Amino acid sequence: MNQEESMIPAGYEASPAEIQSVIIEWVRATEAFHRRYAKITEVINTLQATARRQPAADKARLRRLVTLRQHMSDVLMTLLMDMTGQKSGRSAQPSKPGQLRSHACLLDELNREIDAELTSVTTVAQA
């Protein structure tokens, strides 16, 4: 092994305050994501009960919500596996510390998508 290869490259070291900020951001996004998952499950259950009584109910909306909930499950499992460094059937690389922020951003983006979908369901249900 060359001496160059054995040297660890000097990189940016995050301060404890920055690390705490990233962790808090990730925790908030994750908690919000879990609340929305529970809400979307509640809406799906309501729509499924309505669909049994009224077969003409909006099945496309129900399919969209079920697909969104499955996507949420997939994303959460992927992020959790990524953070723990576990390998799935594919070769996976464990998370680098800086990926917590990108995970939080991804969850925030999904939260906005879920909110938009739940708002449209609520609006239609009230009409």
pLDDT at residue 95 tops 60: no
Q: What is the reported pLDDT for 22?
A: 81
pTM: 0.64
**Mean local confidence (pLDDT), 24-43:** 89
pLDDT at residue 86 tops 70: no
Q: Which residue has the higher pLDDT, 35 or 56?
A: 35
* Residue 99 near residue 116 (C-beta atoms within 8 A): no
Mean pLDDT of the chain: 75
* Residue 107 near residue 73 (C-beta atoms within 8 A): no
Domain boundaries of the chain, sorted by first residue: 22-85+98-126
**Mean local confidence (pLDDT), 100-104:** 78
Residue 93 CA to residue 36 CA, distance in Å, equals 28
* Residue 93 near residue 81 (C-beta atoms within 8 A): no
